[in-house]
């Protein structure tokens, strides 16, 4: 799963106390999904967090793993069909935002799935939850729907709510935000958070230039210069993404100030 984008804060979620019975909660979720499960055990597993499961295999972790792959497939196919002139690097960039943890968590929260998660007592009593729980539940439900109803049912559910996110990306809310994309890639594929080192600065106070490099797990990537620290960090993130093979070589740098980073 891709990591968070800073455009929406998703560190914690506020969760109301659960008021529905187990059966009523199941009905509510199926109404939200506009889908009735043939195998109710799959829905049970999708909504069960490891903190309350009798063992890890009884939690939603395996379904989350499967759902992540199904989500990626459906979104890749949709982007490929909708944007025939996009290069591989552009498709990769947009896909990473659309399937990010932040996006999945946002969709799950918007649908109200968080209220129906089966959680351990310690988490249940907390007034706030890690937003990753919502994202994981969303992916687990995608996996459960795939197993229960096949790819077409999973695709219908995914696109019913993710097309809005695709449109949001195309409208420019996330477009070419290299720091966000690098963070998503680094956290998901490398298991580390990028840091930015200021290496040098030159020029008079009114026209300074700054040299910045990205460091991930002790590896320093090519440094870049920018007219301010934010722009330099943005360009350094872009260079790191290129080295990591996540961008095309002809990608044009973005003015960081326009992205509100």
Contact 175, 168 (CB under 8 A): no
- Helix or strand (DSSP H, E) at 93: helix 88-98
State the catalytic residue, choosing from 68, 78, 102, 109. Answer: 68
* Separation CA 130–CA 12 (nearest Å): 5
Active-site residue (options: 4, 64, 78, 139): 139
- Rg from Cα positions in the chain: 20
Angstrom distance (rounded) from CA 100 to CA 255: 23
CB-count exposure of residue 195 (10 Å: 0-12, 13-18, 19+) = exposed
Q: Is 68 annotated in the active site?
A: yes
Do β-strands 12-14 and 195-202 pair in parallel, antiparallel, or remain unpaired? unpaired
- Rounded CA-CA distance 138/256 in Å is 31
Residue 4 annotated to the active site: no
* Phi, psi of 104, rounded to the nearest 5 degrees: -60, -40
Helix (H, G, I), strand (E, B) or coil at 114: helix
The residues assigned a catalytic role are 68, 139
């Amino acid at each position: 799963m891709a990591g968070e984008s800073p455009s929406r804060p998703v560190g914690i979620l506020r969760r109301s106390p659960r008021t529905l019975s187990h059966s009523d909660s199941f009905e509510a979720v199926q109404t939200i999904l506009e889908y009735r499960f043939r195998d109710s055990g799959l829905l049970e597993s999708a909504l069960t967090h490891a903190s309350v499961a009798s063992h890890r295999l009884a939690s939603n972790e395996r379904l989350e793993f499967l759902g992540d792959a199904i989500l990626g497939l459906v979104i890749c196919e949709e982007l490929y069909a909708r944007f025939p002139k996009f290069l591989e690097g552009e498709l990769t960039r947009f896909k990473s935002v659309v399937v990010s943890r932040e996006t999945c968590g946002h969709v799950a929260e918007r649908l109200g799935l968080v209220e129906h998660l089966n959680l351990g007592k310690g988490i249940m009593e907390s007034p706030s939850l890690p937003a990753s729980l919502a994202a994981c539940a969303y992916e687990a439900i995608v996996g459960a729907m795939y197993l229960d109803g096949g790819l077409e049912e999973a695709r219908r559910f995914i696109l019913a709510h993710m097309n809005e996110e695709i449109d949001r990306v195309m409208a420019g809310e996330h477009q070419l935000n290299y720091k966000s994309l690098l963070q998503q890639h680094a956290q998901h594929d490398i298991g580390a958070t990028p840091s930015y080192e200021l290496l040098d600065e030159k020029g008079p106070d009114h026209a300074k230039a700054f040299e910045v490099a990205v460091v991930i797990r002790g590896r320093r990537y090519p440094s870049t210069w920018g007219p301010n620290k934010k722009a330099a960090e943005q360009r350094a993130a872009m260079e790191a993404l290129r080295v990591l093979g996540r961008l095309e070589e002809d990608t044009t740098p973005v003015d960081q100030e326009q992205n509100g980073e």
